[in-house]
Every structure is written in C-alpha cells, then in structure tokens.
Amino acid sequence: MAMAHCYTCSISSNFFSNPKFHSNNSPPFPKLFTLSAIRLPQFRSNSLAVDSTTSYPLEKDDKKLLLQVNDLTAVIAESQQTILNGVNLTVYEGEVHAIMGKNGSGKSTLSKVLVGHPDYEVTGGTMTFKGQNLLEMDPEERSLSGIFMSFQSPVAIPGVSNADFLNMAYNARQRKLGLPELGPIEFFSHVYSKLDLVNMKMDFLNRNVNEGFSGGERKRNEILQLAVLGADLAILDEIDSGLDIDALQDVAKAVNGLLTSNNSVLMITHYQRLLEYIKPAYIHIMRYTTLSFEVP
C-alpha cells in the first residue's frame, strides 16, 4: 500500500554545502525532516498526500497569509482516479517555496489544481488565496486575482503578437484592480523596461506568442509575462527544464528581480541547480512510500 510523505526543510545558509545533500548514496534531504502524510482513516490507495508543519495564522512575522491549502483531495476528471489526497500547503507573502519529487508524484498536478485546470476535479478540502475561496473561482478569476502559472511547455498562439497579448492581459488585470488601463503607446513604454530583465530584444514584442520560439525564449517569455502582470503568487512549473546554463541564469536573475516582500514564488523542479540560483525558504518533497498495516 502506498502512502506519500513530505520532507519539508527550512533552508539555512550552509544547507547546500551539507555533504548529505550532494551524496549520491543519501536521500536528497535529511530524514530529520520526514513528516507523516495523513491519518490512516483518510487514506486511499494510489493517492498522494503532502503534509506541512506550518500553522495557519493570518499573519506571520508581519507577513500576510497568501495561499492556504487544507486537506486537498483531487481526482483526474476523466478516470476519477485519486491523484492528490490530504495535501496541505501554506505560503505567506515574501516566501519562496520549492516542490520536488519524482515524475508522477503529483507536483504539476497540484499546480494545475491551484489554477483550476479542467482535467482535474477537487473532491475534498479547501484552497484559499488572499482570503478568497479558489474553489468558487474560474481559472480566469484566479489569474486576475494575482495567481500566475508558468507552464512546462508554453503553447504558441499564431496571429497574436507578444505586444498585443501582453497589453490585453495587463489591462484585464488593471480592470480587476480598478486601475487605469494603458493604450498601445503607453504600454510600450511600460513593457520596454521589462525586456532587459529577461535579456530580450525589442523585436521580440513583434513576434507571435511562442511561435517559432526556442525553449529558452519560451521560458523567458513566461517570465516577461510575470513581470508585466505583477502577480502576487507565481507558480513556476519546471521553469528550468530544457535550459542551458546561460538561459537558466537569465531566468533565475529575472525571477529574483521580481521578488518583493509582498509576492511569493512556488517553483516545481527536479534539479538542485535551480535552487542554487533562486534560494527557497522551504522545500517540500512529494514522494510515495510503502506502508503495511492491519486494520483492527
């Protein structure tokens, strides 16, 4: 019988220099941080659960609670197979969280459930963002409220230029916030200052969204969108996949440049190298373990 466990680590200054972290013969994180996933009566087979020791005060160290996930259970909409079971996650303003684990452990599923992907159905638990019930919000509403997701393989949108796409997305968020919208000329000045952040040239704006883009350009474009929209919570799903070291450094530098005391990042990755450029405060490991027990 499979039960998922979560290793949650607070990162100290010498964490990455710890020999246990780099050893091929050791688990990626010290077992000191192993947490029990769920109570047995809640358990269902072929499911995933992640627990956290974090309590849920509305403020922590003068930082407001941004995202709170409690006992989240979700199934694949088509097959009704349980893929998340009893997931708990808490993110405050100004925090960087990393989620790691093997393929199929549920990392990307969790991110898609947070943004309302139709392939998944929430069957239990709660999700709140800035005090709002995410389960009552459409994907578009979640985006406009300040959640941004960078996908592993961003799709191309033929016939729509980056400039027009970004301008429309920016104005939609401005309307949601009750702020003035920007016309094409005004928006051009706004977005121009963001290009240096992702090391992109001006002609990038005239190209169709992701059409003919290299892997590095697509990832840079995702971060440019994040920079323009100014999201409160950025969910970065394997933003480092397919990037050479130069592109990875550019993307990481851009993400670090966007971090403030009021926004947060939840990044999903398989590799330590990203964590060396974007330093997380917490790491959550999602994985399956085997548990045998007898029900009395």
Per-residue pLDDT of the chain (296 residues; tens, 9 = 90+): 333 334 444 443 343 344 433 334 433 322 222 222 222 223 233 333 344 433 445 666 678 899 999 989 999 888 988 888 888 899 999 999 999 887 777 888 899 999 999 999 999 999 999 999 999 999 999 999 999 998 877 788 899 999 999 999 999 999 988 999 999 889 988 888 888 888 888 888 888 988 888 888 888 888 999 999 889 999 999 888 878 888 888 889 989 989 989 999 999 988 888 888 998 888 888 765 433 333 33
Domain total of the chain: 1
296, part of any domain: no
144, part of any domain: yes
175, part of any domain: yes
Sign of dihedral through CA atoms 252, 249, 158, 153?
negative
Q: Which domain holds residue 100?
A: 2-290
E-assigned strands of 15-167? Answer: 34-35, 59-60, 63-76, 82-92, 96-100, 120-129, 132-133, 147-150, 157-161
260, part of any domain: yes
Q: What's the confidence (pLDDT) of residue 287?
A: 65
136, part of any domain: yes
295, part of any domain: no
141, part of any domain: yes
Distance CA 111, CA 117 (A): 9
Q: What's the confidence (pLDDT) of residue 265?
A: 94
Q: What's the confidence (pLDDT) of residue 125?
A: 93
- What is the CATH number for 164? 3.40.50.300
Q: What's the confidence (pLDDT) of residue 151?
A: 80
